[in-house]
Amino acid sequence: MIELRTPAEIEQMRPAGRFVASVLEATAAAAKVGVNLLELDALAHEMIRSAGAESCYIDYHPSFGASPFGKVICTSVNDAVLHGLPFDYTLKDGDLLSLDFAASVDGWVSDSAISLVVGTPREADLRLIRTTERALEAGIAAARPGNRIGDISRAIADVAREQGYSINTDFGGHGVGRTMHGDPHVPNNGRPGRGLPLRPGLVIAIEPWFLETTDRIFTDPDGWTLRSADGSRGSHSEHTVAITDGDPIVLTARS
């Protein structure tokens, strides 16, 4: 079911967006060589407790997950790109880390993701990260009344193809509101002028993710982490966006 939010409800969603942005900023800043993924999860967990927020992940158990997630942030490293389950791994120089976080504040959810290089970067990793960020910007720019979901999808895909990356459509963006995942699905590839018309009040997570040399993925033995089929690295960028009569509002904008 697709729900449209009133301007007042979108205002009520802003605290959740600000909180999610603050957790990603804090965990990204803490992601240094020698830091363990479980320390990043513990930091996010403490911020949730301190803010009186609720985790969207810890009890999350969709059909594609082997069990309840059990942690509060996704930490995907190198060839992992989505749903990275935090485990006892110490970050190394040059690791490509994607952080994905969603939380509920006063009953409203926001969802966002960021990718970064820990320590010394490879140019190929920086190019991959820049491409997902540019694709996210292009998708947000297309999130306007009069357009359709396919216009967002095509804007994302055009940026990826321009840089030579292929696109997986198994996982993509989604509706956000009282729960983390809702309708509509927002794939990262599509045809312009097709799909659901975009109307003011629609709140969606737009989330391009690309792999360096493949579009095929498999699920790690942990039952959650999605990895590239060929071992190449991945990057993931995401914001929660509200469509309005004018410019889209990026609820999870970071400072």
Averages of pLDDT over runs of 10 residues in the chain (255 residues) are 95 98 98 98 98 97 92 98 98 98 98 98 97 98 97 98 96 97 97 97 98 97 97 98 97 95
Residue 238 marked as a ligand binder: yes
Per-residue confidence (pLDDT) for residue 37, from 0 to 100 = 98
Residue 1 maps to a domain: no
For 181, the domain range is: 7-250
| 151: nearest Cα among 184, 124, 106 | 184
Residue 2 maps to a domain: no
Per-residue confidence (pLDDT) for residue 231, from 0 to 100 = 97
Residue 18 maps to a domain: yes
Residue 61 marked as a ligand binder: no
3-state secondary structure the chain: CCCCCCHHHHHHHHHHHHHHHHHHHHHHHHCCCCCEHHHHHHHHHHHHHHHCCEECCCCCCCCCCCCCCCCCCEEEECCEEECCCCCCCECCCCCEEEEEEEEEECCEEEEEEEEEECCCCCHHHHHHHHHHHHHHHHHHHCCCECEEHHHHHHHHHHHHHHCCCCCCCCCCEEECCCCCCEEEEECCCCCCCCCCECCCCCEEEECCEEECCCCCEEECCCCCCEEECCCCCEEECEEEEECCCCCCEECCCCC
Residue 210 maps to a domain: yes
Residue 111 marked as a ligand binder: yes
Per-residue confidence (pLDDT) for residue 183, from 0 to 100 = 96
Residue 139 maps to a domain: yes
Per-residue confidence (pLDDT) for residue 1, from 0 to 100 = 84
Residue 212 marked as a ligand binder: no
Domains of the chain: total: 1
Per-residue confidence (pLDDT) for residue 255, from 0 to 100 = 87
- Vertex 91: Cα angle to 128 and 166 (nearest 5): 20
- CATH number of the domain at 246, please: 3.90.230.10
Residue 207 marked as a ligand binder: yes
Residue 133 marked as a ligand binder: no
Residue 45 marked as a ligand binder: no
Contact between residue 182 and residue 176 where contact means Cβ atoms under 8 Å apart: yes
Residue 255 maps to a domain: no
